């Protein structure tokens, strides 16, 4: 078997009010090279980059577990393989590291089995493993993707163009926050007023992008579902979300479950990143600001 390489982008999800609904792929990557073996080995994964010291090097790794999940669903026995994994995506920071691993794992299944799952199954299996599809879809498809999870577990996904004028800045705090912990902080119910508030803004977000009314994005990315509840888990978040009047800044949101913060801007990206990092520093938290381009392609196989 010829060495196959899979590249999967990071992603930022929710984008404010679009909880479990919308995500945007970013140019930060998980890369996996696949070497088929004649016989199985215990240490089947060679890791480098982010998470290399903490992630399992056996079939317990999420990449391999995702391949085995697809194999079980499809009734296929996979041949043994060794994976060479190079990861740029910070772990448990709200940048879709688990979704990237899942898409890489489903792609591993395709490479080892010789089967093409197709987009519908890739999204379905990915959402089943992850529990939601908002990061899974952009990791697979690239760009800005809106998803809808049906009761039958099928995922409807619509990709739309991202405006070239809008750039992304992510500020990554130096601590991890698991999705499970962040979800445990969420309220069990919302008032009708808060539900309407979020519906209006998630609808406004898409409409504002299409109409190039970027001045509406600050309001369109406000949220009452998850961000207020997660402020206690991310010191400084409340102040950061209320940033306004900064040259070039369009909107700020928690990236996925956090603790990373996403800022959308047209210019002045360096200063915006430094300003947000300073807010974290005042709470005694180190952070790193990165300017990331939008990934328009999604998963790539070579």
Give the Cα separation of 74 and 56 in Å (integer).
25
157 with 11, same domain: the answer is yes
Q: How far apart are CA 178 and CA 133, in angstroms?
A: 17
Are residues 133 and 79 part of one domain? yes
Instruction: Answer whether residue 214 shows pLDDT above 90.
Output: yes
Total-model pTM:
0.96
Angle between helices 118-130 and 62-74 (to 10 degrees): 120
Q: 110 and 187 share a domain?
A: no
Q: Which two tokens stand for residue 128?
A: 């089943």
CA–CA distance, 15 with 280 (Å, rounded to integer): 20
Domain shared by 83 and 175, yes or no: no
Kindly indicate the confidence band of residue 2, based on its pLDDT and cuts at 50, 70 and 90. confident
Task: Render pLDDT for 265-298 as a digit per residue (tens, 0 to 9).
Answer: 999 999 999 999 999 999 999 999 999 999 999 9
Of the candidates 153, 146, 145, the residue with the CA atom closest to the CA atom of residue 124? 153
Q: Are residues 150 and 37 in the same domain?
A: yes
Are residues 227 and 283 located together in one domain of the fold?
yes
- Mean pLDDT computed over 110-129: 97
Q: Does the pLDDT value for residue 204 go beyond 90?
A: yes
CA torsion angle 186 187 191 196 (round to 10): 10
Number of domain units in the chain: 2
Q: Do residues 117 and 260 both lie within one domain?
A: no
Helix (H) / strand (E) element for 24: namely: strand 22-36
Q: Tell me what pLDDT residue 3 has.
A: 87
Rounded to an integer, the average pLDDT of 136-148 is: 98
End-to-end, the C-alpha distance of the chain in Å comes to 13
Q: Do 35 and 176 fall into the same domain?
A: no
Question: Does the pLDDT at position 1 exceed 70?
Answer: no
Structure tokens given for 197: 């508030």
For 5-59, write each residue's pLDDT tens digit: 999 999 999 999 999 999 999 999 999 999 999 999 999 999 999 999 999 999 9
The answer on 15 and 137 residing in a single domain is yes
CATH number at residue 198: 3.30.70.890
The separation between CA 241 and the C-alpha centre of its own chain, rounded to angstroms, equals 19
Per the DSSP assignment, residues forming a β-bridge with 127 are none
DSSP tag of 217: H
Rounded Cα distance between 289 and 183, Å, is 25
CATH number of 153's domain = 3.30.230.10
- Tell me the residue range of the domain where 19 lies: 4-161+296-301
Whole-angstrom distance, CA of residue 233 vs CA of residue 271? 25
- What does the alpha-carbon distance between residue 80 and residue 143 come to, in Å, rounded to a whole number? 33
**Co-location of 68 and 186 in the same domain:** no
Letter string b/e over residues 36-60, b meaning 16 or more CB atoms within 10 A of that residue's CB: eeeeeeeebbebeebbeeebebeee
Q: pLDDT exceeding 90 applies to what percent of the chain?
A: 97
pLDDT in tens, 12-22: 999 999 999 99
Q: Is the CB of residue 64 less than 8 Å from the CB of residue 105?
A: yes
**pLDDT-derived band at 232, boundaries 50, 70, 90:** very high
**Rounded Cα–Cα distance for residues 142 and 82 (Å):** 27
State how far the Cα of 173 lies from the Cα of 93, in Å rounded to an integer: 8
Q: pLDDT at position 289, please?
A: 98
- The three-state secondary structure class of 157 is strand
Mean of pLDDT values over 170-196: 94
Computed over every residue of the chain, the mean pLDDT equals 96
Helix (H, G, I), strand (E, B) or coil at 302: coil
Q: Residue 204 corresponds to which tokens in the numbers above?
A: 């406004």
Residues 157, 11 share a domain? yes
| DSSP for residue 221 | T
Phi-psi region of 167 (alpha: psi -120 to 50; beta: other; left: phi over 0): beta
- Rounded CA-CA distance 10/136 in Å is 10
* Same domain for 60 and 134: yes
């Amino acid at each position: 078997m010829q060495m196959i390489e899979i590249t999967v982008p990071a992603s930022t999800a929710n984008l404010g009010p679009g909880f479990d609904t919308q995500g945007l792929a970013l140019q930060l990557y998980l890369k996996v090279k696949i070497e088929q073996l004649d016989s199985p080995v215990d240490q089947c994964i060679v890791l480098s980059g982010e998470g290399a010291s903490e992630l399992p090097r056996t079939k317990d790794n999420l990449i391999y577990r995702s391949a085995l999940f697809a194999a079980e669903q499809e009734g296929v026995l996979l041949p043994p393989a060794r994976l060479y994994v190079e990861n740029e995506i910070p772990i448990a920071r709200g940048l879709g590291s688990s979704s990237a691993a899942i898409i890489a794992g489903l792609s591993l299944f395709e490479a080892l089995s010789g089967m093409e799952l197709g987009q519908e199954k890739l999204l379905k299996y990915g959402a089943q493993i992850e529990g939601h599809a908002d990061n899974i879809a952009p990791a697979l498809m690239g760009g800005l993707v809106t998803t809808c999870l049906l009761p039958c577990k099928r995922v409807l996904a619509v990709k739309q163009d991202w405006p070239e004028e809008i750039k992304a800045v992510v500020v990554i705090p130096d601590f991890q926050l698991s999705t499970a912990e962040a979800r445990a902080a969420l309220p069990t119910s919302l008032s009708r007023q808060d539900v309407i508030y979020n519906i209006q803004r998630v609808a406004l977000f898409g409409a504002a992008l299409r109409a190039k009314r970027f001045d509406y994005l600050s309001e369109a990315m406000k949220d009452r579902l998850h961000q207020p509840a997660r402020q206690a888990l991310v010191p400084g978040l409340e102040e950061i979300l209320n940033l306004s009047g900064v040259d070039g800044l369009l909107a700020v949101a928690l990236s996925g479950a956090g603790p990373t913060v996403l800022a959308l801007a047209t210019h002045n990206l360096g200063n915006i990143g430094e300003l947000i990092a300073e807010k974290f520093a005042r709470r005694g938290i180190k952070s790193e600001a990165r300017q990331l381009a939008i990934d328009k392609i999604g998963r790539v196989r070579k």
